[in-house]
Structure 1
Amino acid sequence: MEGLKRVSSMKRCSNVVKTKIVNNLNPICHAGQQLTLKGKFFITLTQDQRKSIPGKFISVQIYSGTEVDPITGKGKLSEKAVLKHDGTKKHDNGDAKTMIYKIRINVYSHFGTPRAFLIQNRYKKRFFLQSASIETCNNHIIHFDCNSWVYPIKKTKSDRLFFSNACYIPSETPRALMELRKEELERLRGESDVNSESEERKEWGRIYEYDCYNDLSDPEKGPEYLRPILGASWLYPYPRRLRTARKPSASGPANESRPRNFEIYVPSDERFSPNKMKELKSNSIHALAHFLSPKALHQQCSKSFESFEDILDLFSASRNQRIEGWVRDNLNKMLPIQNLEEIIRLIKNKPLELPIPEILSENAWVWKDDIEFGRQMLAGTHPIKIQCLKTFPTQSSINPSFIEQRLEGWTLPQALKHGRLFMLDHHDYLYPFLNRININGVCAYASRTFLFLRSDGMLKPMAIELSLPGSSLSKGISRVFFPAKQGIEAALWQLAKAHVQANDTKAKLLNPHFKDTMHINALARIILINSGGVLERTLSSGEISMQLSSELYKEWRFDEQGLPADLIKRGMAIKDENNPSGVQLLLQDYPYAIDGLEIWVAIKKWVKDFCSFYYKDDESIRSDVELQSWWSEIRTIGHGDKHNETWWYQIDTTSSLVESLTTLIWVASAQHAAINFGQYAYNGYPPNRPTLCKKFVPMEGTIQFGEFLKDPDKYFLKMLPNRFEMSLVVALFDVLSRHTSDEVYLGCQLSPGWIDSESIQNRFAEFKEELKEIQARILERNRDPKLKNRRGPAKIDYTLLYPDTSSSWSRTALTCRGIPNSISI
C-alpha cells in the first residue's frame, strides 16, 4: 500500500485532503500604502551542522493567494528577502536544535493575502525546513507546515514552493494559486522533467512514481541471493513500491541494482527529519550493541542456549567488550561498514542495559501457561488472526469427538452454534511452501490451533494440529497434540505451542497490507526484507519470506481492512445497524476489538464531519478530478495486480469516501499501534514467541525422541534460534517497539495553525475529547476483574490502544505510549 503514501506529499498542494476556505483575510490597511509582511522560519540542524546556516544564503519570495499578476497568471509575487538569524530553540532529546530565522518584506496594499512562498537555498548543504509563518499587517498569522528538506539550488535547479495550511478542492482553488498548483503536481508526477523515465532519482528529487519490488535480489553476491520480482505477474502479485530508477543489476536487466548504504532515494517531503533519523539510527545501534556483545557471544554463537536463565543474560549489562570476527562477518552481510564501526565504538563505552520484557515482569514462567497462550491471541501482538468457527473444518485430521470431550459439557454442535469454538489457522496458506522452508536447518509445520471459550471469557487451548507434506514418494503427516499438566505429554504440548507461536509471529511480520511509510520502506528494502537480510535470517520462512508475503496478498481485499469488516470476516462479530460501529461482538472480552471499535467509531465520526463540511453533496465528490485521479491511481497502479477486482469502493458518495478514508487512517494508526508496539513486551523473550524452530516435535522411537526424553527443556532450547539469530531478532523487536520523540499522535495536531478553518479545528477538538473519554474507559475496563483477558496470568494491562501520551506513567510503560498518526517504524 506504499502508493497511498503519495497523500502526504501532495497535501502541500492540497489535492488529497481538500477543503475550501471561507475566510477572506486581506491585509489591506489603507489603499496605496506599503505594507510589511513579517515571516518566521524554523530550520532544524543536522548533526554535521554545528553552527547556524548563514541566512544570507537563503532567500524567500511570497505569493499572494488572492491577487493575480496579469502577466504570469499566477498570484502576485513579492521581492526577495534573505533570512536573518533570530534565535535558537533546543530540544529535550540532547544536542538537536532548531534555528529561528526572520524576514521582513514590503508589499503594496493591493498585494492581497499571502498563501504560498518560494524559498531558494544557495548554501552548500541541504537543510530541514520545519515550519514557517507569515504575519500580515492586521496581525493575522498564516501558518505553513513544511517538514521537508530544501536542497541547494545548484542541485535542484529550481526554488522550492510551499503552500499555506489553507486547503481547497480543485473547483474552488483561487485563480491566483491555480497555475502554481498545476505546476507543483507536474513536478511531483515527473511530468515537467523530460528525463524522468530514464534518469536515476537523485537525493534531492521529488518525483513520485511506482515500480515493482525488483530490488530485493543481490545477484552480485551469488545465485543464492537471487529472488523473484514481486508485482506485475500472476504468480507473484504485490503492491507497488516507490520508483527509484537505479541502474539495472550487472547480472541482468530485470533486477535493479542495490544501494550499498542507507542513502536510497526517497522524495524530500518523505524523508525523516534530522531528529527522527538520528533517533532511529541511535536506537538501532544501541539495540545491536547490547544484544551482540553479552558475555555469551564470545562463545560459538551458532550454539543454542544452555538454560532459560542463560537467555535472561541477554538483558543484563554484563558483557564481553569485543565482537568476534565471525560476528563481524555476519553483520557485514547485512549492515554498511560505517554502521558496524559505530556499534563497535558504542560497545567500548559504558555498559548498556535494556528492560526485561514485560511478559516476564510478574512471573518468569508465565509464558508456559496455556491460558496466557490463548489470551495473547486476543490481546497480544497479533490479535487479528483468530476466528470463531461456525463449522468444524472437514480438512482437519482431528477427530471431532476428541474435541467434544474437552468442551466442558457442551456438544460440538452446541459449541459451534453459540460461538464457543475458535481456531488460529496457519495451515492452508503455509502448507504448499513447507518443503522449500524446511531446508538449511529450519523445521516448520502448517498448524491449526483449536480453543474453547470458557464461562469466564478466557480461551482454553484444546488441541494443536501440526502438518507436514510428504515427498513425491510418501504421503504427508499430521500430528495432533492435547494439553497436559505434567510428564512427557506436557513437554510435547509445549513444543507444539512453540511451533504455533513461530507461525503466528511470521504472519504478523509479513502481511502485506501493514506497509510502512516511504522512508522506512526504503530502509527495509536495504537491510530487512532483502535477500540475506534480517528477516531471512530470523524467520522460519527464510529466503521465501517475501514470496510468502505475495501469497498472502492474493487474498487481500481493501474492503476487509476496516475493523468491523475484519471482525465479521473472522466470525468474531455480526452486523448490527443499531450499534455505532455497525457490528456486535460475539466475544465480549476481546481487548483489541473492544478498544479498537471505540477508536474506529471516533475516527469515522471525525472523518465524516470533515468530509461532509467541505463536500456538500455526492456530486461534488464525483466531480473532484484530483480525488478521483488519486483513488484511480491507488487501484490501477498502486495495486495494479488487483485493479480488476469488483470489491474496490467506488468513491462517488460521501459514505464511500468516509469508509475509505477511515480505513486508511485506522490501518496506519490504531491497527499498526496494536500490532507493532507490544513486540518487545511479548516477543522480546523468544521462548514466548519464537520466530523460527530448529527442530521438529520428535516422533516416538527415534533418536530425537530419546534426546527429548533425556532432557525436555534442553530439547526445547535447542529447538529455538541460535544465539546470534535470537540476539538479532530481540534487537529488532526492541527497535520496532520504540517511539521517536517527534511522533505525532492520534488526536494531536501537528501545529497550532495546522488548518485554516475554525470550524474544523473545533471539530478536531471534539475528536480529541472523545479519545480522552475512550482512554478513561480503557482504564476502567482494565480494572474490571471480570474482564480477565485484559491482564491475564502475565498481568500486563492492555494499553496498546490507549491514546494518551501526556502522563509520565504512560511513557514508562512499553505498551502504553499512544497511537501514532502514521506508520513510521
Structure 2
Amino acid sequence: MPEYKGVLTTEDRLLAKTWDRIYIKLVGTDGESQRKALSRGSYPESVFKVKVDHNNSIGKLVLIELEKKTGLLPPQDSWFPAKVELKSPEGETFHFPIHRWITDDEVHQFREATACLVFDDSHPLASQSRTEELKQRKKQYRWSIYAEGIPHCMKIDFFHGLPDEVQFSYTKQAEFGFTAIQGLIELKLDGLAARKEKWTSIDAIGKVFRHKQTALSEYVQQNWKKDSLFGYQFLNGVNPMVIRRCSVLPENFQVTDQMVFLRGGRSLTKEMQSGNIFLCDYKLLDGLKANKVNGKQQYLMAPLVLLHKTPEDQLMPIAIQLKQEPSEDNPIFFPTDSEYDWLLAKMFVRSADFQDHQLNSHLLRTHLLAEVFSVSLLGNLPMVHPLYKLLVPHTRYTLQINALARNLLISESGIFNTITSSGGEALQKILQRATSSMTYTSLCIRDDIKERGLESVPDFYYREDGFQMWDIINRFVQGVLGYYYKEDSDVQRDTELQTWVLGIFVHGFLSRPESGMPQKLNTVAELVKFVTMVIFTGSSQHAAVNNGQFEYGSWMPNTPTTLQRPPPTSKGTADESSLLETLPDVNATVNGMAVMYLLSKQSSDFVPLGHYPEEYFSERVPHQHMQLFKGELGLLSSKIEARNLGLIIPYTFLDPALLENSVAI
C-alpha cells in the first residue's frame, strides 16, 4: 500500500504539549486515508506514517483532519500543534500550518499551505472546505456595538469567550495583569494608591518618582518647565498627531504681531508665509463636561497653541489660549507672562494633550482600528488566503488586549474613569467626535504629513523614521501580494478580499463615505497601499504613540491625567500654591503612573516586526520577501541607533527592533 510519511510539530511554548490521543486523516484529490492514531504524547516533533487503502496514492493532498481525544481520565488536555509536513509516495512534500490551540475533541480541518485565491480554488473538496471554514469563522467572529458612534468590536462577554487561537499564551497570561494594582506594586507605590490628598510640593512628587526610571524620564523631570521640551513633544513625543502648519490664524485665536516676540525680528504674518508658524488645536475637547475624581469636579480645557520655528530650528510656544471662544475671562498667555501664569497655561495644554492622545491617537486610531482590521480578517478570509497568511501575525493578542481594556480600563468602573478628567460621559463623546472626523488619509503617514503641512519641519524624527518604515512595509507587501495578484482584475474578482475591505468600512468607519476609506479595491496598487496602512497602524503607529508613555508621562507635572481647578481667568494670580492645588491628587497621580507603566511594558514573548516564527506560507517567493523585509528593518534599526548617538533626546519609538508585530499591549 502507498505510504505517506509525516512529521507533526508541537509549538515550542509553555504547556503546548498534550498527553491526549491524537488522530490524523489525509484528504487528497483522488481519495482519503483511514483515520490513524498517533503515539500518545505529542513531543516537539512526532514522526509518523500513514498508509492508504488504495493501490495508488490519494493524489495531491488538499487537507488534513486532526482530532484530539481525552483518555479514560479527564480533564481534557490543551494542545498547540504548529504544523504537519507530509511526503507523498511520489516524493512531493506538503505543508499544513496550524498554529492554534486545540482544546476540544472535535475534528479540525487544515488546508495545505499553498496560498490560493477563491477563484482559483476549483477542486470540490477544497471549495467545500473553504466554505465550511468561513461559515464557522463568521459564527466565531461576530460584531458588537460597544458604544454608538465609535468603531464596532468583537462580540464576546469577556476575553475568556475569545476563540482559543487569538487568546494570550500562558506566558503572556502569567505576566500580564491589566490592573493598576500590579503596576503600583512593581513601581513600589502601592502605599500611596488610597491617598486622596493634594501634593504639598513638587519635591514631594519627586520622592515617588524613583523606580523604573530611564534616561529620558529623568530628562523630562529635570526639563519639564522648559519651552523647548514643551515644543519638542508636539513633534517627537507620544502624540505627534495634533500639530499642523498654520498659514492663517483661526478667527477664535486673535493673536497679533504686537502680542508675540519672534526670534529673528520678523512679523507673525511673514513667519506664517515662510512656513514657520504651527498650530495645535484641541477643539475635539470643547464643551465637554469634565469628570469627577475623588468626588471633586475636574476641569477639561480645549486649548489652542501657537508655536514658532526659530532660526535655530527649535519649535517654541509663543501663545496659548485655554478655551476655544475668545473673551475677557479667557486671556491669551505668552512666554513673557509671569513664570507661574505661563507654566500653568502649559500644564493645561499638556493635560489636554494627554486626553487627546489616550482616547484619539492611541485608543481609537490604533487599538480600536486594529480590532476592526482583525475581526474582519478572521471572519471573512480562510487560512488558505494569501492575505490571511500575510496579516494574521499582525492580529496577535489584539482582540484580548482590547477586551481587557474595555472591561478594566474604559468601562464605567475602569481606571480611566477614576483618574482622568475625560472619564465619565466625556470619554464616549471624545471617541464619537474623533471617529466622525477620522479619515483614510490620516492613517497613511505620507498623506497625513503632507495634509498637515509638515514635510519640511527639521528634526521631526517621527516623520523621518515613519516614512522609512512605511516604505519598507510597502515594498514587503508589494513583493508578497504581487506574487498572487498579477493583474488588477484579480483584485476585483476576489470576493473574500472585497468583503474584508467592506467590513472595515462599515464597522470601523461606520459607512461614512466622507472618511475616504475604500469600500472596495480595484487595483493591485490600491490593495498594496491599503494593506501597508493596516500593518503600519498595528505595528509602527501603535509603537509611536504607545512606547514612550511612561517615559514622558510618569513625571506627572509634564502629563497631568486631570486638573482639579479651573483655568485662570486673569493674569498675575498664579503661584506655586495654586499650581499644586490644580494638579491631580496623590492617588490619581500614582495610579496614572502605574497604568502608563503597564501600557508601555514589553512582554517576554514580544515578537518584533518582521519576525514570523509561525510559518503560514510554504512558497519560496513570500519567504524571500520576508527575509528582505527583516534585513531592511535591521538596517533601519542600525541607522536610527547611530543617529540617536548624537541626539540629546534619542528618538527610539520607531526603531524596528522595538516594534511589535501587532497591537499586543
TM tier, shorter chain? 0.7 to 0.9
Shift of 1:649: 5.7
Moved more, 416-425 or 300-309: 300-309
**Residues 44 and 599 of structure 1, relative CA distance in 2, 3 Å threshold:** closer
Deviation for aligned residue 1:523: 0.9
Name the CA distance, whole Å, in 2 between partners of 1:692 and 1:618: 51
How far apart, in 2, do the equivalents of 1:446 and 1:84 lie?
Answer: 65
Q: Any idea what the Cα deviations from partners look like across 1:159-193, whole Å, max 9, x if unmatched?
A: 22333433111122261422111100011112xxx
- 1:683 CA drift (Å): 0.8
Aligned counterparts, 1:268-667, within 5 A: 268-281=164-177, 286-291=182-187, 293-296=189-192, 301-316=195-210, 354-362=211-219, 364-403=221-260, 405-426=261-282, 428-434=283-289, 440-467=296-323, 477-484=329-336, 489-511=338-360, 512-515=364-367, 517-543=398-424, 544-572=426-454, 585-642=455-512, 648=518, 650-667=520-537
TM-score, length of structure 2 as denominator length: 0.86
Specify which of 83, 101, 104 is matched with residue 149 of structure 1: 101
CA contact (8 A) 1:431 1:469 kept: no
Equivalent residues of 1:81, 1:105 under 8 A apart: no
Distance 1:127 1:460, change over 3 A: same
Q: Once the 2 structures are TM-superposed, how far is the Cα of residue 587 of structure 1 from its aligned partner?
A: 1.0
Per the alignment, residue 715 of structure 1 pairs with 578
CA-CA distance at 1:676 after TM superposition = 0.4
Structure 1 residues 767 and 372, CA, compared in 2 at 3 Å: closer, same or farther? same
In structure 2, relative to structure 1, the CA distance for the partners of 1:645 and 1:545 (3 Å cut) is: closer
1:59 aligns to 2:59 (yes or no): no
Question: Quick one: distance in 2 between partners of 1:392 and 1:263?
Answer: 47
Pairing partner for 1:208 from 118, 141, 159: 141
Answering whether residue 36 of structure 2 is matched by residue 80 of structure 1, we say: yes
Match of 1:333 in 2: none
What is the aligned partner in structure 2 of residue 779 from structure 1?
Answer: 641
- Name the structure 2 match of 1:116: 63
C-alpha contact (below 8 Å) 1:287/1:731 kept by paired residues: yes
Residue 721 of structure 1 deviates from its aligned partner by 1.6
Q: State whether residues 344 and 579 of structure 2, in contact with CA within 8 Å, keep that contact through their aligned partners in structure 1.
A: yes
Alignment-mate amino acid for residue 499 of structure 1:
F
Give, in angstroms, the shift of residue 269 of structure 1: 2.1
Q: Flag the 1:140–1:587 CA change in 2: closer, same or farther, 3 A.
A: farther
Displacement of 1:290: 3.7
CA distance in 2, matches of 1:729, 1:469: 30
Unaligned 5+ residue runs, structure 2? 369-397
Query: 8 Å contact 2:66–2:109 — kept in the other structure?
Result: yes
Matched with 2:608 is 745
The verdict on how the C-alpha distance between 1:58 and 1:281 changes in structure 2, with shifts beyond 3 A counting, is farther
Structure 1 residues 286, 296: closer, same or farther in 2, change over 3 A?
A: closer
Match of 2:380 in 1: none
Q: Is the 8 A contact 2:6 2:47 kept in 1?
A: no
RMSD between aligned residues: 2.9
State the Cα deviation string for residues 221-269 of structure 1 (Å, max 9, x = none): xxxxxxxxx23xxxxx22111123x6xxxxxxxxxxxxxxx65422222
Structure 1 CA distance, aligned partners of 2:482 and 2:18? Answer: 44
- 2:152 equivalent to 1:240: yes
Aligned mate of 1:181, from 113, 116, 130: 130
Residue 586 of structure 1: how far off its partner (Å): 1.5
- The answer (yes or no) to whether the contact 1:357–1:680 under 8 Å persists in 2 is no
CA distance in structure 1 between the aligned counterparts of 2:237 and 2:281, rounded to whole angstroms:
16
Counterpart AA for 2:349: V
In structure 2, distance between residues paired with 1:622 and 1:468: 47
Residue 602 of structure 1 aligns with an amino acid whose one-letter code is I
Shift, 1:653, TM fit: 0.5
Distance, in Å, in 1 between the alignment partners of 2:466 and 2:29 is 47
For residues 561 and 110 of structure 1, the distance between their equivalents in structure 2, rounded to whole angstroms, comes to: 51
Q: How many Å apart are 1:271 and its aligned residue?
A: 1.3
Query: Letter of the aligned partner of 1:729 in structure 2?
Result: G
Structure number with higher helix proportion: 2
How far is 1:603 from its partner? Answer: 0.9
Cα displacement (A) at 1:435: 6.7
Q: 1:756 aligns with which of 610, 618, 630?
A: 618
Q: Is 1:727 aligned to 2:590, yes or no?
A: yes
User: How is 1:256-267 mapped onto 2 (pairs within 5 angstroms)?
Assistant: 263-267=159-163
Looking at structure 1, the residues matched to 519 and 635 of structure 2 have their Cα atoms a distance apart, in angstroms, of: 32
> Corresponding residue for 1:129?
80
Q: Shift of the alpha carbon at 1:527?
A: 0.8
Please say if residues 381 and 679 of structure 1, whose CA atoms lie closer than 8 Å, have aligned partners that are also in contact: yes
The answer to whether structure 1 residue 105 and structure 2 residue 22 are counterparts is no
The alignment's TM-score, normalised by the length of structure 1, stands at 0.70
Structure 1 residues 639-677: Cα deviation after superposition (integer angstroms, max 9, x where no partner) = 334267665363010111111111111111111111101
Distance 1:701 1:639 in 2: 43
Give the whole-Å Cα distance in 2 for the aligned partners of 1:36 and 1:86.
Answer: 17
How many angstroms does 1:717 deviate by?
2.8
Amino acid at match of 1:271: Q
5+ residue gaps, structure 1: 1-31, 70-75, 88-98, 191-206, 214-229, 232-236, 247-261, 317-353, 573-584, 785-790, 805-817
Shift of residue 412, structure 1, vs aligned partner: 2.1
If asked which structure has higher relative contact order (CA below 8 Å, sep 6+), I would say 2
Stretch of structure 1 that moved more, 678-687 or 689-698: 689-698
Q: How many residues align?
A: 623
Label 1:429 to 1:42 Cα distance change in 2 as closer, same or farther (>3 A): closer
Is the 1:539–1:691 contact (alpha carbons within 8 Å) kept by the matching residues of 2?
Answer: yes
**Residue 195 of structure 1: aligned partner:** none
The aligned counterpart of 1:9 is none
SS at match of 1:742: coil
> In the aligned structure 2, how far is the partner of 1:275 from the partner of 1:669?
21
Contact 2:86 2:94 in 1 (8 A): yes
What displacement does 1:308 show? 2.8
- Alpha-carbon distance between aligned partners in 1 of 2:554 and 2:60, rounded to the nearest angstrom: 54
Give me the whole-angstrom Cα distance separating, in 1, the residues matched to 2:323 and 2:159. Answer: 43
Cα distance change on mapping 1:436 and 1:280 into 2, 3 Å: closer
Distance 1:275 1:128 in 2: 15
Q: Deviations over 1:75-134 (max 9, x none)?
A: x344232343364xxxxxxxxxxx665544334651345453333233333525151232
Deviation at 1:362, TM superposition (A): 4.5
Identity of matched residues, %: 23
Q: Aligned to 1:149, what secondary structure does the other structure show?
A: coil
Partner amino acid, structure 2, of 1:770: E
Specify whether residues 537 and 602 from structure 1 end up closer, same or farther in structure 2 by C-alpha distance, changes over 3 A only. same
